[in-house]
């Protein structure tokens, strides 16, 4: 069973260096694998098409223990002849993983016509897979019966998964799954994905691409798996809408049951209210009957109420007389205390007045002595 992956590069030399360094077997179609870099460059320069995409990269991976590296390289050469008949193709076979796999470096320029190699979109992938399956069947190898996997993993991703690690592509898958399950249309899905995960979305026609915040370029949805392409997402939105409608029907049914319960409660409450009102009417009726019964036995309720009022008025008068008498006595006590205080204060005032007179007399005598002393001094000087 062989799987196919496609890609491009702006540097054919770097791709050849990478593939050749790890190769255990190498060969070429329309090119000598030992001189693939220089020969491909001469072809591109001959037609002045050395800019842009210089080579296409194809990876053909086999099931573990299904082929040897030599057998895999032979199958790769047969596929290269079918896949790019007029182009130079170097085939490098690796066995550094559990899956023996071929790396194809296809020169972007046809060495006969000078035309560029075209391999873009789902059609190119399906074409390469179809040719690979054809060659594998000729060698009695198993093929993938269903290529449209819900999630598609590269060899590098599989190696990370084997080590319990997550690739940036797997991070995008998880983010897309969460945003899809939280949305009912493409616009809300796109906003949710960028707002919560920083992943940009680009849709051109039916080709959908995503850009991880840590990557420089967009990645096509078909590289992630069928569930992440436009049609797969729309199916997810339809399922989400169905779940939402089912939830609304459930809520609506529950509200109907609640309204029925409320109606029953109100009806029961109304009957209870009527029963209470009936009971109150019965109590009032019983009270009137009791009063009537008391009247029959000679008890006058009006006379009793008047007697209570009269007693309250008499108590109020008694309290008022006691308050006035107590207030008068208090006033008398306050007057006596004030007179006693004034009596104590008057001697103090007389003493203060006497001290002031003595002070003035002392000042007067001191002044007279100073005058006499001055006159005496004046006489002596004459």
For the residues of 32-93, what is the DSSP string, one character each?
Answer: -GGGHHHHHHHHHHHTT--SS--EEEEEEEE-TTS--HHHHHHHHHHHHHHH-TTS-EEEEE
183 and 112, same domain (yes or no): no
- Within a domain: residue 171? yes
Q: Of the candidates 120, 147, 174, which is a domain's last residue?
A: 147
- Within a domain: residue 307? no
Q: Of the candidates 271, 298, 325, which is a domain's last residue?
A: 298
- Within a domain: residue 27? yes
Percent of the chain's residues with pLDDT above 90: 33
**DSSP 8-class letter at 185:** S
Q: Are 123 and 39 in contact (CB under 8 A)?
A: no
81 and 100, same domain (yes or no): yes
What's the mean pLDDT in 13-21?
Answer: 93
Residue 51: is its pLDDT beyond 60? yes
**Model confidence band, residue 161 (pLDDT cutoffs 50, 70, 90):** low
For 104-113, write each residue's pLDDT tens digit. 999 999 999 9
For 301-315, write each residue's pLDDT tens digit. 556 566 656 666 676
- Indicate which CATH number applies to the domain containing 89: 3.30.930.30
pLDDT at position 361 is 75
121 and 185, same domain (yes or no): no
Residue 129: is its pLDDT beyond 80? yes
Q: Radius of gyration (Cα) for the chain, nearest Å?
A: 57
Number of domains in the chain: 2
Cβ neighbour number for residue 65 with a 10 Å cutoff: 9
107 and 128, same domain (yes or no): yes
Cut 0.85: pTM above it: no
134 and 154, same domain (yes or no): no
pLDDT at position 293 is 45
159 and 283, same domain (yes or no): yes
**Model confidence band, residue 283 (pLDDT cutoffs 50, 70, 90):** very low
Produce one character per residue of 9-18: b if its CB has 16 or more CB atoms within 10 Å, e if not.
beebbebbee
Q: Which domain holds residue 80?
A: 2-147
14 and 90, same domain (yes or no): yes
For 368-380, write each residue's pLDDT tens digit. 777 776 666 665 4
8 and 119, same domain (yes or no): yes
Cα(127)–Cα(123) distance, integer angstroms: 6
- Within a domain: residue 309? no
157 and 245, same domain (yes or no): yes
Q: Of the candidates 147, 174, 189, which is a domain's last residue?
A: 147
What's the mean pLDDT in 345-355?
Answer: 61
What's the mean pLDDT in 17-21?
Answer: 92
Cα(19)–Cα(67) distance, integer angstroms: 19
- Within a domain: residue 380? no
pLDDT at position 160 is 64
- Within a domain: residue 347? no
Residue 148: is its pLDDT beyond 60? no
204 and 90, same domain (yes or no): no
122 and 249, same domain (yes or no): no
Residue 272: is its pLDDT beyond 70? no
pLDDT at position 135 is 93
Sign of the C-alpha dihedral computed for residues 143, 148, 150 and 154 taken in this order: positive
- Within a domain: residue 230? yes
- Within a domain: residue 19? yes
162 and 139, same domain (yes or no): no
Q: Looking at the chain, list the stretches that DSSP marks H as alpha helix, in order from N- to C-terminal side.
A: 12-21, 36-46, 69-83, 121-138, 155-162, 168-181, 186-197, 230-296, 301-381
Residue 95: is its pLDDT beyond 50? yes
């Amino acid at each position: 069973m062989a799987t196919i992956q496609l890609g491009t590069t702006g540097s054919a030399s770097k791709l050849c260096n990478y593939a050749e360094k790890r190769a255990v077997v190498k060969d070429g179609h329309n090119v000598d694998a030992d001189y693939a870099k220089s020969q491909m460059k001469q072809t591109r320069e001959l037609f002045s098409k050395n800019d842009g995409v210089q080579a296409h990269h194809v990876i053909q991976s086999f099931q573990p223990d299904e082929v040897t590296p030599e057998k895999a390289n032979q199958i790769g050469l047969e596929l290269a002849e079918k896949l790019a008949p007029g182009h130079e193709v170097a085939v490098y076979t690796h066995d550094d993983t559990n899956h023996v796999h071929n790396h194809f470096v296809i020169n972007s320029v046809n060495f006969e016509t000078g035309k560029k190699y075209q391999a873009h979109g789902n059609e190119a992938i399906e074409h390469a897979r179809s040719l690979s399956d054809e060659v594998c069947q000729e060698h009695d190898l198993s093929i993938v019966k269903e290529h449209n996997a819900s999630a598609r993993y590269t060899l590098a991703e599989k190696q990370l998964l084997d080590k319990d690690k997550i690739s940036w592509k797997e991070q995008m898958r998880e983010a897309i799954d969460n945003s899809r399950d939280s949305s009912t249309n493409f616009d809300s899905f796109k906003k949710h994905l960028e707002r919560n995960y920083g992943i940009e979305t680009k849709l051109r026609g039916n080709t959908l691409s995503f850009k991880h915040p840590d990557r420089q370029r967009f990645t096509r949805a078909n590289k992630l798996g069928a569930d992440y392409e436009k049609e797969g997402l729309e199916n997810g939105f339809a399922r989400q809408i169905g779940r939402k409608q089912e939830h609304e029907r459930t809520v609506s049914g529950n509200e109907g049951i609640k309204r029925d319960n409320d109606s029953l409660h109100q009806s029961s409450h109304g009957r209870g209210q009527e029963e209470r009102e009936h009971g109150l009417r019965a109590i009032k009726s019983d009270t009137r009957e009791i009063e009537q019964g008391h009247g029959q036995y000679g008890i006058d309720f009006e006379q009793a109420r008047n007697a209570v009022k009269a007693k309250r008025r008499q108590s109020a008068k008694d309290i008022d007389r006691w308050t006035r008498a107590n207030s008068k006595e208090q006033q008398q006590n306050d007057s006596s205390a004030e007179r006693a205080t004034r009596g104590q204060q008057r001697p103090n005032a007389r003493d203060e007045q006497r001290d002031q007179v003595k002070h003035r007399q002392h000042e007067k005598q001191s002044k007279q002595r100073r005058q006499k002393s001055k006159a005496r001094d004046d006489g002596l000087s004459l």
